[in-house]
Amino acid sequence: MMNNVVKKKLKNGEKAVGAFIGIYSPEIVEMLGYSGFDFLVIDDEHGAFSPRDLENMIRAAERVDLVPIVRVSYDPSCIQKALDRGAKGIQVPMVNTREDAELVVKRAKFPPIGQRGAAFITRPSRYGKDQGKAYLDAADDNILVIVHIETPEAVANFDEIISVPGIDMAFIGPTDLSISMGYKEEGAQHPEVQKVIAQLRERALQKNIPLGTIAASPYGVRQELQKGTSFVAVVLTSVFMTAFSEVVDAGQGAHQA
């Protein structure tokens, strides 16, 4: 089983930069890998992916040395399916309590740690070439388990959530957090939201657990890393729309000139 280089980086106090993608495109995955990104988050919460789509995206990521992570949906079986397709990590939305976090670990880890169903005929086990304790232990060691903190309840329970054995990282979802706090207009830029995010970052640093979030621009990525965030992702849809708008604006400016 491929070593999870991003999980190793985070354990060593290093940084990782990646991208969220909600569009089925193995070609874009390859471009991200060739560009030097560390990881890819395949967004199965909001994106339109079949299990076969997930597998093909994961396969493309492996080809270009990207660590494939899946942000799962709310279906109870989604963690199992993502891992059996070959995901090297999961991001689980709306984890609000210690009990929620414990359930995530149960679904992501094999017994005796958790309750993940074992099958030695899937991609991660090379369709049966890898079996037994060595494979099961390697899977448990290498899977990156990430929980989303995106509600006031999760903020209140933050210390308990990140203390659950098997949770590797907390990821701040700024959009959902701002909406759940009641700031639908200013969103994540509202001072109260920024205050909460700063407090969570400080608590994570104190407890030596990596923190992740999204950034809207290259400058935003740099800012987050400088503040101590370990795992920063851009959203490709936003990157594309910004680039497209810049091209249109340039064309309109040339036409007016």
CA dihedral for 141, 144, 149, 150, sign (positive or negative)? negative
CA-CA distance, 172 to 178, in Å (whole number)? 11
In this structure, are residues 19 and 156 in contact, taking their beta carbons and an 8 Å threshold?
A: no
Each domain of the chain, given as residue ranges in start order, spans: 5-256
3-state secondary structure of 65: coil
pLDDT at 257: 62
Would the pTM count as exceeding 0.85?
Answer: yes
Fold of 5-256: TIM Barrel (3.20.20)
The rounded distance, in Å, linking the Cα atoms of 155 and 131 is 40
- Give the residue numbers marked as catalytic: 46
pLDDT for residue 3: 85
pLDDT digits (tens, 9 = 90+) for 70-110: 999 998 899 999 999 999 999 999 999 999 999 999 999 99
Banded pLDDT at 37 (limits 50, 70, 90): very high
- Which pair of tokens denotes residue 230? 């370990």
State which amino acid sits at residue 150. E
